[in-house]
Amino acid sequence: MLTNLVIESMLNRDLYANTRIKKPSDDVIATVVRAGQQAPFASQLCSLLLSRKKAPFGAPLWLQICVDMHRMELIMTKRGWTVLQNDLSMLLFGIQGCSL
């Protein structure tokens, strides 16, 4: 079987119950966000919300990736463009982009 550091880390992970929840450093957060920004995308319909205060289940960080149609509308209006797609196709493009 082929292996690398990521696969080894996934195969050797502890169960959630056996790990302590650690607060990620700002450098780790910046690295994860930057890596996500470099991912391929179908459209630029993603917004990232980050909260350290109201994280559920005692998590030290709450990170949400959302399809943001309003952001796209603002960009299109600023450039004087009109959307030629319907809302369903834009939503599917947004979901695809957020997934990536």
pLDDT grade for 37, boundaries at 50, 70 and 90: confident
- Position 26 confidence tier, pLDDT thresholds 50, 70, 90: confident
Share of the chain above pLDDT 70, in %: 86
Nearest one of 65, 64, 63, 69 to 45, comparing CA atoms: 69
Q: Which domain CATH number covers 59?
A: 3.40.109.10
* SS3 label, residue 44: coil
| Average per-residue pLDDT for the chain | 78
Band (18; pLDDT cuts 50, 70, 90): low
Range of the domain at 30: 5-99
Instruction: State the CB neighbour count (10 A cutoff) for residue 88.
Output: 8
> For position 20, what pLDDT does the model report?
62
Between 22 and 76, name the one with better pLDDT: 76
pLDDT value at residue 62: 85
**Is the Cβ–Cβ distance between 65 and 37 less than 8 Å?**
no
From the list 17, 28, 72, 73, the residue with the least C-alpha distance to 50 is 28
Q: Are 68 and 21 in contact (CB under 8 A)?
A: no
Considering its fold, how many domains does the chain have in total? 1
